[in-house]
């Protein structure tokens, strides 16, 4: 059985599009539920690094049978082990900070801040890759930053400042990791990147478990198991949705996470997002969505231009 591979950015049939949207919607709900499990586990004394370990272990257990197939082994060959190692280090730091932010913050606010990733990635691409950004994207960046200030409201105290800083640090490192993934994607398949990230992360996480790992009661183990299953399922669902529809179709569905997060926060913790979150989140979502879709369109146009410039056979 092959590992899921993203489809080319072509117009799919109506049924494929509906399936892709449905899968992506369920994946967004699974991710929200996974982060809720991280928060619940933290409340029960589970260390954040334990949660990261079991999250990655679940991914390995799901991907390993696929990788052991003939086609899977061929897809996982790589000649960039050090690039994957760098991606693993950055990815582990980002995941740990993101998990910690959900442990420290209300789930809706942590979700809203997390939507800053494409905005920060654009800023980093300007600084690190000297990419040219026009007025439209600068406007989107400014709108997103204003949205974060509205959600966080420094000095207001409606959410812990330490948690907000952890969330923003997680966003920055996740955005940096996305640049590494983009460079890896020039030669490596998403399946290869995903598998080696999950597998290679087990070594440092196993060492960390020697210091933070502990035995838990049945309730905590149940939450840990559910978190691992939800994370692995969401990971596969996100990748599978890209087999069925282009990025421009499925990406907006990810922002449904804020709705799921608000509902979960109300159902479990009896906390509804404060008005500032509902005001700032649309600015973050709108700017992030604009940047992501615009970059996808520019990349598609560049690929088409490259194809046209090739001499015909």
* Residues 101, 167 contacting (CB under 8 angstroms): yes
Identify the CA nearest to 46 among candidates 187, 168, 209.
Answer: 209
Mean pLDDT of the residues in the chain: 83
Identify the CA nearest to 106 among candidates 270, 226, 256.
Answer: 270
Mean pLDDT of the 99-115 span: 93
Identify the CA nearest to 2 among candidates 190, 232, 233, 197.
Answer: 190
For 17, phi then psi, to 5°, come to: -65, -45
What pLDDT score was predicted for residue 245? Answer: 76
Identify the CA nearest to 194 among candidates 299, 95, 88.
Answer: 88
What pLDDT score was predicted for residue 312? Answer: 55
pLDDT at residue 37 is higher than 90 = yes
Helix or strand (DSSP H, E) at 132: none
Q: What is the pLDDT of residues 232-267, one digit of tens each?
A: 888 888 878 877 777 777 778 888 898 899 999 999
CA 176 – CA 251 distance, rounded (Å):
19
Give, in degrees to the nearest 5, the angle at Cα 264 between 260 and 268: 180
pLDDT band at 43 (very low <50, low <70, confident <90, very high): very high
CA 130 – CA 123 distance, rounded (Å):
10
Name the range with the highest mean pLDDT among 118-127, 147-156, 226-235, 300-309: 226-235
* Residues 222, 40 contacting (CB under 8 angstroms): no
CA 201 – CA 203 distance, rounded (Å):
6
Give, in degrees to the nearest 5, the angle at Cα 270 between 39 and 222: 35
What pLDDT score was predicted for residue 75? Answer: 61
CA 51 – CA 232 distance, rounded (Å):
13
How far the first Cα of the chain sits from its last, in Å, is: 34
Give the distance from CA 10 to its chain's centroid: 23
Q: Which residue has the higher pLDDT, 313 or 29?
A: 29
What pLDDT score was predicted for residue 52? Answer: 95
Give rounded-to-5 percent helix, strand, coil for the chain: 80, 0, 20
Mean pLDDT of the 20-49 span: 93
What pLDDT score was predicted for residue 70? Answer: 55
Sketch the domain layout of the chain as residue ranges: 16-210+227-303
What pLDDT score was predicted for residue 5? Answer: 44
- Number of other residues whose CB lies within 10 A of the CB of residue 313: 3
pLDDT band at 113 (very low <50, low <70, confident <90, very high): very high
Name the range with the highest mean pLDDT among 113-122, 213-222, 291-300: 213-222
Counting residues of the chain whose pLDDT is more than 90, the rounded percentage is: 35
Lowest-confidence pick of 8-17, 37-46, 68-77, 144-153: 8-17
What pLDDT score was predicted for residue 84? Answer: 82
């Amino acid at each position: 059985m092959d590992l899921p591979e993203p489809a080319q950015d072509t117009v799919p049939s109506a049924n494929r599009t509906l399936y892709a949207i449905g899968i992506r919607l369920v994946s967004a709900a699974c991710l929200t539920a996974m982060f809720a499990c991280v928060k619940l586990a933290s409340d029960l004394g589970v260390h954040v690094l334990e949660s990261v370990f079991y999250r990655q272990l679940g991914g390995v257990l799901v991907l390993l049978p696929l990788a052991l197939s003939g086609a899977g082994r061929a897809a996982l060959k790589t000649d960039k082990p050090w690039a994957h190692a760098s991606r693993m280090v950055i990815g582990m730091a980002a995941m740990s900070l993101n998990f910690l932010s959900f442990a420290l913050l209300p789930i809706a606010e942590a979700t809203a801040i997390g939507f800053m990733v494409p905005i920060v990635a654009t800023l980093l691409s300007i600084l690190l890759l000297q990419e040219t950004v026009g007025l439209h994207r600068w406007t989107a960046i400014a709108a997103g930053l204003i949205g974060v200030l509205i959600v966080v409201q420094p000095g207001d105290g409606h959410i812990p400042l330490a948690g907000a800083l952890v969330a923003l640090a997680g966003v920055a490192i996740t955005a940096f990791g996305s640049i590494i993934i983009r460079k890896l994607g020039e030669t490596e398949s998403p399946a290869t990147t995903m598998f080696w990230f999950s597998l290679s992360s087990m070594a440092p996480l196993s060492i960390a478990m020697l210091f933070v790992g502990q035995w838990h009661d049945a309730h905590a183990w149940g939450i840990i198991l559910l978190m691992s299953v939800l994370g692995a399922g969401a990971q596969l669902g996100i990748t599978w949705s890209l087999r069925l529809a282009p990025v421009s179709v499925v990406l907006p569905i990810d922002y449904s996470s804020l709705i799921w997060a608000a509902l979960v926060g109300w159902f479990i913790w009896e906390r509804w997002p404060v008005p500032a979150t509902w005001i700032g989140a649309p600015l973050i979502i709108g700017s992030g969505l604009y940047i992501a879709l615009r970059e996808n369109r520019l990349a598609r146009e560049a690929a088409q231009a490259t194809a046209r410039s090739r001499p015909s056979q």
